[in-house]
A = this chain, B = another copy of it.
């Protein structure tokens, strides 16, 4: 928050290995001026390996398993439980870090313009769950990652930052995704930091983001 020295309270949602959570925790630990702290980690999967990062860091976890193919009523009840579990920790910003579920407008309305997601493509190209595979199949020479605010459409909200990653000859989905993740591990924390400092202004689809002067321009436009 800009008006005091209190750290902005962050919730992080994960479904898998949580490497973006790990990166965020590391950046916060190393940057006294970050202005945020992770107060809760949520997951839709009890077996999400990334939960271990939360436990190691002494951060509370909220795990609400949602079976595949759940009907609408089951999903709504699940989201309600997840929301209440997170809300008990009073987060001000919610970071989707490899969270593979779609959240409703009701969830988003609780944290307006303060739910942030990272996606492994240069949006609007290659939305959805198979962005890296589809970029390879399309034969693009550049893909990358996009950090954006979340709205009710999948991989669609106002864009905070993008960085390109070249596709190399003979690339595989795994190798390319690893190089994209390496960029995400810088770009997502930089954007969360900007949100913590209220350095994000959204007008329609266009977001103005003031990044930390020591890292920003150089890292976002290398």
Chain A residues packing against B (C-beta within 8 Å): 122-126, 137-142, 144, 158-164, 166, 169, 204-208, 220-221
Contact = CB atoms under 8 A, between A and B. Distances in A.
A123 B138 CA distance: 10
Given A122-B122, A124-B140, 20 more contacts: A122-B142, A122-B164, A123-B125, A123-B140, A124-B125, A124-B126, A138-B159, A139-B158, A139-B159, A139-B204, A140-B159, A141-B159, A141-B160, A141-B220, A142-B144, A142-B163, A142-B164, A144-B164, A164-B164, A166-B221
Contacts of A163: 142
Given A122-B125, A125-B124, A221-B166, A206 B139 contact: yes
Contacts of A138: 124, 159, 205
Copies in the assembly, this chain: 2
Contacts of A122: 122, 125, 140, 142, 164
11 contacts: A122-B122, A122-B125, A122-B140, A124-B140, A125-B125, A137-B205, A138-B159, A139-B158, A139-B206, A142-B164, A166-B221
A162 B139 contact: no
